[in-house]
Amino acid sequence: MGHHSCCNQQKVKRGLWSPEEDEKLIRYITTHGYGCWSEVPEKAGLQRCGKSCRLRWINYLRPDIRRGRFTPEEEKLIISLHGAVGNRWAHIASHLPGRTDNEIKNYWNSWIKKKIRKPSSSSTIISSTQKSDQNPQFTFAQNQHLDLFNQDNFSTKSSHVHQDTLFPLPSSSFMFEISPSLEGPSIFQENGPLSSETWQLHRQHDQVVQQGEMVQYTTSSSLTPLIDNLDNIMVPIEVQNCGINVGGGNLTTIDCMQRNAINEWVVETQQCPNYFFWDQAEGQLGGEEIIPAATSNLSTMMSAFPSSI
């Protein structure tokens, strides 16, 4: 006893993999594939449990694995996605070809620790234009956000909204990655991918945001994206730092991203809608008027959401 249930063979090796073990696993998988991981160790001649083999293959040995430091683009994408979905590492990894959830998780955790230990000199939002790119992570997040991340505001497992889904702090920023590798703004990725050939994000006055361009939206005070299980997303955004003032600089208007009839993403300025959320059934960003018809989860969000903008 004391061993994991999958490791109940007589001799099960644990710990780091030796090059010989790696070779055995690679040779077996490349010639036979893996139908059932529990059968792999015996057939490959390894004194490991199937679970360990699976992990070793997925996180280290598979041929399409990508190694080395994260690029600034990857870092930005991780930050953006983490802002959208929280600690859902596998989901985040699915947007970074060749990267594993484990690697991203490790990166994120060590990054958080590092930043927490170094108190920032500023407690306010730093605009993307004020900060150099030599420290890519700082183009988005400040210590405030790290606190937020640490509090795990976006629940990683629940399928419903918690009260603590809300950001408790007065301001936050939020970034949309407009990446060629994505089929649309990443936050909306889960809600029905767009045709990768046709999507475009338009700013007001039909100014097209190029693929690969990073657009940072900073939410106004108390306004933060709220996400439950990715079926519903509330995105009150005020556009700042993107070079174009679409929001009018006050809180009587708010910008939201919407998909138009021809599957383009459009930033629209609207008058004082209190809430937006992604209505999966309708396939569009909804306003406050349809929230009452939504789930009780959304009601939870709404009740906790600032009542005035």
Which residue ranges make up the site for DNA (CB under 7 A)? 3-4, 7, 13-17, 34-39, 48, 50-52, 54-56, 59-60, 87-91, 101-103, 105-107, 109-110, 113-114, 117, 152, 156-157, 159
Nearer to DNA, 139 or 153 (CB): 153
Q: Which residues contact 55 (CB under 8 A, 6 or more apart)?
A: none
Smallest separation (angstroms) from DNA to the CB of 118: 9
DSSP class of residue 191?
G
Smallest separation (angstroms) from DNA to the CB of 168: 18
Are 95 and 70 in contact, with CB atoms under 8 Å apart? no
Tell me the residue ranges of DSSP E strands in 214-302: 214-218, 226-227, 233-234, 253-259, 265-271, 277-279, 284-286
Are 53 and 62 in contact, with CB atoms under 8 Å apart? no
Smallest separation (angstroms) from DNA to the CB of 40: 8
Nearer to DNA, 54 or 145 (CB): 54
Smallest separation (angstroms) from DNA to the CB of 215: 25
Nearer to DNA, 60 or 268 (CB): 60
Smallest separation (angstroms) from DNA to the CB of 27: 17
Nearer to DNA, 160 or 193 (CB): 160
Instruction: Please list the helix, strand and coil fractions of the chain in percent, rounded to the nearest 5, in that order.
Output: 35, 15, 50
Taking alpha carbons only, the member of 101, 69, 83, 84 closest to residue 146 is 83
Nearer to DNA, 13 or 202 (CB): 13
Taking alpha carbons only, the member of 240, 227, 204 closest to residue 277 is 227
Residue whose entry in the numeric block shows the structure tokens 């949309």? 176
Nearer to DNA, 146 or 239 (CB): 146
Smallest separation (angstroms) from DNA to the CB of 178: 24
H or E stretch covering 202: strand 201-203
